[in-house]
A and B are shown apart, each in its own frame.
Chain A
Amino acid sequence: MHDLAPLTALGTKAPQQEKIGLVTLAEAPDWALASVTARLGQEAACAAALAQTLGAGAPGVARYHGGPVLGAFWIAPHSWMVQAPYSAKPDLAAHLRGQLGPCASVTEQSSAWARCDVTGPAPLVAEMFARLCNLDMPQLPSGHARRTVIDHLGCYLLRGDGGAVSVYGPRSGAQSLWHALELAARSIV
């Protein structure tokens, strides 16, 4: 039996956290992800099945549903990313496949992405992201989800309440993403 120690995307045993001025960056490794895409001609059935699984409507264009356990955000027409805490749904993709049946293609995405949660006063966080990406944060409502580019990395950005923003970036570029976030947070102190 192998005795392997799990590492986070940033290569440490415990998730990193850093407070820069009033903004806090926190690596959030405990998230399972799976993408759900409707099969051709099954769009309505897939949206209905996903809504039933989530216990809320399938998120509309650029929307994010937090959910108590299962959450989801819109990534493309008839396509969503579903997220859940690892501890609650370690086999998220298999769970969704069972729930959704043949109307959807479900792809395991957990190990492709690394998540970082940014919190702080809303105007400061908005200024920070103005330096990082094209999105106009003060214009985006809470519960908005968009893919955007941060330092050449394609990232998903979820806008929570107030100054809470979660960023999913490619796991292979987690350190570059962390560096970009850190640098932007420092530049507004």
Chain B
Amino acid sequence: MIIPHPLLGPCDAQEFTYLGDASLIARPDGMAEGAADAFHDYLYLRDNPAGLHRELWYHEQGDRSWLVVTRNTLTHEIVKAELARDVARAEGRGR
């Protein structure tokens, strides 16, 4: 599988490690009201789509960046790859 890295171009998936669903970026505020329930959902509840799935990949043997990769779980086609930093900032999570 080839992952189109937004900075480095096409890279072999062998250079990456996989973390999981990109919704892991949306970590709840641990100090907020109802944090226990929010963390339960964050930790255990996942969609399991047959089709497009956004997931986190780490370019360990490359530039050490985290990517959000949109992959079709039926065909393994990779539709999009973005820097997780940009995705997090767009969601208002960056400092």
Contacts and interface: CB of A to CB of B under 8 A. Distances in A.
Interface of A: 40, 61-62, 74-77, 134, 146-149, 154
Contact of A134 (B7, B12, B60, B64): B12
Q: Is the interface of B mostly helix, strand, loop or mixed?
A: loop
Interface in B57-75: 60-65
B14 interface: yes
A148 B61 contact: yes
Q: Lowest 4 A-B CB distances belong to which pairs?
A: A76-B63, A149-B61, A134-B12, A61-B7
B15 A76 contact: no
A148 B65 contact: no
Contact of A61 (B8, B11, B14, B61): B8
Given A40-B95, A61-B7, A75 B12 contact: no
Given A40-B95, A61-B7, A77-B7, A134 B63 contact: no
Nearest to B83: A77
Interface of B: 7-8, 11-12, 14-15, 60-65, 83, 85, 95
Q: Is the interface of A mostly helix, strand, loop or mixed?
A: strand
Contacts of A62: 7-8, 63
Given A40-B95, A61-B7, A77-B7, A147 B12 contact: no
B12 A77 contact: no
Contacts of B85: 77
Contacts of A134: 11-12, 14-15
Contacts of B8: 61-62, 146
A146 B83 CA distance: 18
B65 A146 contact: no
A49 to B, nearest CB: 21
A148 B14 CA distance: 10
Nearest to A134: B12
B26 to A, nearest CB: 21
B95 A76 contact: no
Nearest to A153: B61
Nearest to B64: A76
Nearest to A139: B9
Given A40-B95, A134-B12, A134-B14, A146 B62 contact: yes
